[in-house]
Structure 1
């Protein structure tokens, strides 16, 4: 209703205006609440990514270290194996000399037999010492081989753990872009698997 150019509001007009204002305030509050929730989720994912990246870097370092150790141990095993082979060749040489000395003793006259027998006894003693040294070198070679295999197994564990954490970081990036909750749960799950495998590596399992 209007009078003299002035608009007079009726009860219905006031009700509509109040409802409109209330709805506007409600939308602003909902938008603000949604923004706060989204920001909190993004912050959690960002923090998660930073932590996982740090742990992944440690795992990658441990994986590289164990691989290097495995290579060094394998090299030590090869060296010991070569030394053992040389000792066995030396042992064989002494055995040949002992056999010749025994033959010479058997063919020699009685007054020369004692001299050849002394040589036989000396070769026998030297052979025993060489055999002990060769067997120890072989045992050392086997020990280094086992340690190398253990280090390689541990290296594979670290590599598996690192890969899992890298996948978790990739899922976190996709979760930030798509804002899909299931991706966020997925990144936590895969990261948990990576941490568990890293724990197995630490325990040499």
Structure 2
């Protein structure tokens, strides 16, 4: 409104004023519209969280694969040391007595190297298992977010159908499915 009492409003404002003055403003329609807006907003946030947890799960699974590959490399290295140790043992057994201590020293060195390699390989395998478990946890959480988002979408669809058909039971279904979607979203947030 201007200083001189002149007021301009759009057609939407005019329709709202007309509905209020004529008594055509439907309170249940407003509640459904507000519910739909809130559920759509919450559903968008839950959808984002579902995407983020899915990305994390993929990254964690990739980390597990990297650790498994590194562990495999260490086991291959371990195997090469075992082969060298076996060859040194054969050489020791076939060599003259004055050369036996040289090959025995090599065998002892390979045994120590194998022990060190095994420690690294076992650690890498444990890391791979940890990344796999973390990925599985994130996938479970992602499924919860997806379930929540799906139920909230159904709730929004029920709201639209309820508005079009004016069926009270659909409004009940809308509220119940919206509540279920919110509960499942809370379960996802709590990692349950």
TM more than 0.5: yes
CA RMSD of aligned residues (A): 1.1
Match of 2:16 in 1: none
User: Which aligned pairs between 1:55-70 and structure 2 lie closer than 5 A?
Assistant: 55-70=42-57
Larger helix fraction of residues? 1
Any residues of structure 2 matched to 1:160-179 within 5 Å, and which?
160-179=147-166
TM-score when scaled to structure 1? 0.81
1:119-174 CA distance string (max 9 Å, x none): 01100000001101111111111111111111111111100000000000011111
Alignment of 1:27-106 (within 5 A): 35-36=24-25, 39-106=26-93
How many angstroms apart in 2 are the aligned matches of 1:46 and 1:188? 12
Q: Which runs of 5+ in 1 are unaligned?
A: 1-31
Name which one, 1 or 2, has greater alpha-carbon Rg: 1
Q: How much does 1:68 deviate?
A: 0.4
Measured in 1, the distance between the counterparts of 2:47 and 2:65 equals 27
Which aligned segments of 4 or more residues in structure 1 are displaced greater than 3 angstroms?
A: none
CA distance in 1, matches of 2:185, 2:40: 14
Alignment gaps of 5+ in structure 2: 1-21
- Once the two structures are TM-superposed, the CA of residue 112 in structure 1 deviates from its matched residue by 1.1
